[in-house]
């Protein structure tokens, strides 16, 4: 499924007649829930703002729906809501951050800040993050790096669900890869799972009784399958881009997962979580920034002009769809699917927390 | 086409009854040709060894067949055979190498050495390469970094031939991406074009009058095509992995191409050549190397065991096929396709150079 279809699908899923919430309302709602889960208010605000930013840019799968997962992680002891990230070591152009098994977003934001500062000093930098569960949406962090005028790259592993190319069993996580570059008053930011699709898409197909397009999963003996139930009968997701994407996912295990010390997804000692590496590169250490910005603008203009061909097809740069969605949702508000509002309301009810007009029973 | 099929195809193309050449014979042959083209003997030896290594690992497309292209580049003035790479600047963890518009391999080897040394000192490093034409096979350089116990990453742009996702015109090059990680006595190395296939495959299909599998090219107005002639009628190659691979290719333009100062492929001022970035990361700056090597070995073992599933499918790690081919060809020699031997013989004849048993008229 193309990223456009994916987002169109998410947009269709929301009822046009449903109430729309402002970013501020959603951040307040999410922060209140996280605070009741045990997060200090400052942490709750940071995590809430990060989740709502995902809603705003159109990636609802990484938005406030995650409150439900996070409450389970807190209840199960995998996330300590008051855990705070710390810098364990910093040497030369690299540093290591320990997430304290708290929420991943504050750890990733700390690592991103360190990476940007260190790249300014050394030309390039890398910061690893260990001991944290869901790191959030990597696209946010590489965008922050690009907004600082640097090139950003980030990747992490996650629970095993993807088969290696030509294989059958679950070896790698959906292992996202993100990469950004600054423009003069904007940026380009790529952020994708190295699996062909997210597991959530297969779950929805099961729920809706639909078959899958070919190429998304294999069954338990490695045969291509279009039956989503096969994923839950010992099957696995496929990597994007055949052997190329599968290889990238393996390298993410060998670098982000091992350099962070979290262990690879298929290691019997893997305890879950996202072993993460965030890198920043200071373009100004290589070339004049004015020249860079000019050449970057030329690339963006020519990619659209030449790439559009004689039919003037609409060429999107990485992150452009997200930027358009951000503008639209900042202006018009965010629709939250009824089933998500219901689940968050149930969660809030546990704490006797009144969610006001967000509540849906 | 999978990497396995691709290599099987290359292997089939060689006649089993054809003579086999040792690596030493091929290096001598290639070095003699390059020397007659004007390269100092030391440069000729370096470039020849690099080309023949590509033959040895099974990537004949990057092997001594390139002598023909290189002689054209020298004759056309795009490559100065006596051009030498120089370090233009080195600051903190980054450096810039100018290839002097000589052969790309010496420039890339210099950059690789600088990257490894700088990563040892700073934890991570990046070196850009400008002013050089064909940089050679990126897999060689990231393998060198992995052999030094570090993680390597390299990418570069090239002449425009790939359409952006959803588009029609030629905006990006085939922009290869390479990534490696060390094992205790070995390494894992990924190296792929971000186009779905190399242009050479389309050229062969035209010559053989075959149609293409779907998903490789679009015609001049962006329609999917299986007619290889459409590529040469204003069409374009497609990126691998749909919008994800297309986005990677764009980021390669915005980083490697612009950070090296070479300009993006679709820039009217682009003068050809490979704008390259080579990065090295010193794993020991993050974690204990013994622990890393243990966890890396566990990943490789488990990826094969779990990934193989109940049918024990043969799971290949990135670079494993190349390592197997290297062993086989070091032992049994290399077959060079007759048409390539003929073309190189014509080239040698221009200089009155006797290629001995390699010659074919």
Residue in chain B lying closest to A305 (CA): B169
> Dihedrals φ, ψ of A95, to 5°?
-150, 160
- What local confidence, expressed as pLDDT, does residue A274 receive? 95
In this predicted structure, the answer to whether residue B251 has a pLDDT above a threshold of 80 is yes
Q: What is the mean pLDDT of each run of 10 residues along chain A (361 residues)?
A: 48 68 98 98 98 97 95 96 97 97 98 98 98 95 98 98 98 98 98 95 92 97 97 98 98 97 96 96 98 98 97 97 98 96 97 96 91
Work out the mean pLDDT of chain B and round it to a whole number. 95
Residue B200: pLDDT band (50, 70, 90) is confident
Tell me the C-alpha to C-alpha distance, in Å, between residue B204 and each of B9, B13, B207: 12, 12, 5
The DSSP line for A88-138 is EEEETTEEEEE-TTS-HHHHHHHHHHHHHHHHHHHSEEEEEEES-S----H
Interchain proximity B253–A299, CB inside 8 Å:
yes
For residue B17, the model assigns a pLDDT of 79
User: Which residue in chain B is spatially nearest to A306 when comparing CA positions?
Assistant: B169
| B1, pLDDT greater than 80 | no
What does the angle CA A195 – CA B59 – CA B29 come to, to the nearest 5 degrees? 165
What integer is the mean pLDDT of B133-149? 97
CB-CB under 8 Å, B166 with A314: yes
Chain A residues in contact with B87 by the CB 8 A cut-off are: none
How many interchain CB pairs under 8 A, A with B? 303
Distance between alpha carbon A249 and the CA centroid of its chain, in Å? 15
Percent share of chain B, pLDDT over 70:
96
B139 to chain A: which residues are within 8 Å by CB?
A: none
Residue B2 has pLDDT above 50, yes or no: no
Q: What distance in Å separates the CA atoms of residue B291 and residue B143, rounded to the nearest whole number?
A: 21
Nearest CA in chain B to A169: B307
pLDDT of amino acid A17: 78
3-class secondary structure, A11: helix
Query: What pLDDT, on a 0 to 100 scale, did the predictor assign at position A1?
Result: 37
Q: What is the ipTM metric for this complex?
A: 0.95
Q: What is the DSSP letter of A172?
A: B
Cβ B286–A94 below 8 Å, yes or no? yes
pLDDT at B3: 45
Which residue do the tokens 């002097």 mark?
B100
- Cα separation, A21 vs B155, in Å, equals 43
Yes or no, beta carbons of A241 and B243 under 8 Å apart = no
Q: What is the pLDDT of residue A142?
A: 98
Least confident of A132-136, A306-310, B53-57, B150-154: A132-136
Q: Which of A25, A54, A276, A252 is nearest to A143 (CA)?
A: A54
pLDDT on residue B12:
52
The whole-angstrom separation of Cα A221 and Cα A219 is 6
Helices (H), chain A: 3-13, 23-36, 41-56, 66-75, 104-122, 138-147, 199-208, 242-252, 258-259, 289-308, 320-332, 338-350
pLDDT in the model for residue B15: 53
Q: How far is CA A83 from CA A74, A80, B238, in A?
A: 11, 5, 46
| pLDDT on residue B16 | 64
């Amino acid at each position: 499924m193309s990223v456009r279809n994916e987002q169109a699908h998410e947009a269709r899923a929301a009822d046009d007649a449903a109430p729309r919430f402002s970013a501020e309302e959603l951040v307040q709602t999410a922060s209140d829930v996280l605070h009741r889960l045990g997060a200090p208010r400052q942490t709750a605000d940071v995590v809430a703002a990060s989740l709502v930013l995902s809603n705003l840019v159109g990636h609802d799968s990484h938005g406030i729906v995650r409150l439900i997962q996070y409450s389970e992680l807190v209840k199960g002891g995998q996330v300590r809501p008051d855990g705070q990230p710390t810098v364990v070591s910093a040497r030369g152009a690299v540093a290591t951050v320990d997430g304290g098994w708290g929420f991943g977003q504050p750890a990733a934001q700390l690592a991103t800040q360190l990476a940007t500062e260190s790249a300014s000093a050394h030309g390039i930098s890398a910061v690893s993050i260990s001991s944290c569960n869901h790191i959030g949406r990597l696209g946010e962090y590489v965008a922050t790096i690009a907004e600082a005028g640097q090139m950003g790259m980030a990747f992490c592993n996650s629970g095993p669900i993807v088969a290696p190319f030509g294989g059958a069993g679950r070896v790698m996580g959906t292992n996202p890869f993100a990469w950004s570059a600054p423009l003069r008053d904007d940026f380009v930011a790529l952020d994708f799972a190295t699996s062909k699709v997210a597991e959530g898409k297969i779950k929805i197909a099961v729920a809706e009784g639909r078959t899958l397009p070919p190429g998304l999963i294999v069954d338990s003996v490695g045969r291509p399958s279009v039956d989503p139930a096969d994923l839950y009968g010992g099957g696995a997701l496929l990597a994007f881009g055949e052997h190329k994407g599968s290889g990238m996912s393996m390298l993410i295990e060998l670098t982000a997962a091992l350099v962070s010390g979290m262990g690879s997804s298929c290691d019997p000692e893997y305890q879950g979580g996202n072993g993460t590496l965030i890198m920043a590169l200071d373009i100004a250490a290589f070339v004049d920034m004015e020249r860079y910005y000019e050449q970057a603008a030329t690339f963006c203009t020519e990619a659209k002009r030449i790439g559009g061909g004689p039919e003037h097809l609409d060429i999107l740069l990485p992150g452009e769809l997200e930027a358009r969605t951000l503008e639209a949702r900042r202006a018009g508000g965010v629709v939250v699917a009824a089933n998500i509002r219901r689940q968050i309301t149930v969660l809030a009810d546990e704490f006797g927390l009144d969610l006001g007009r967000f509540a849906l029973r």
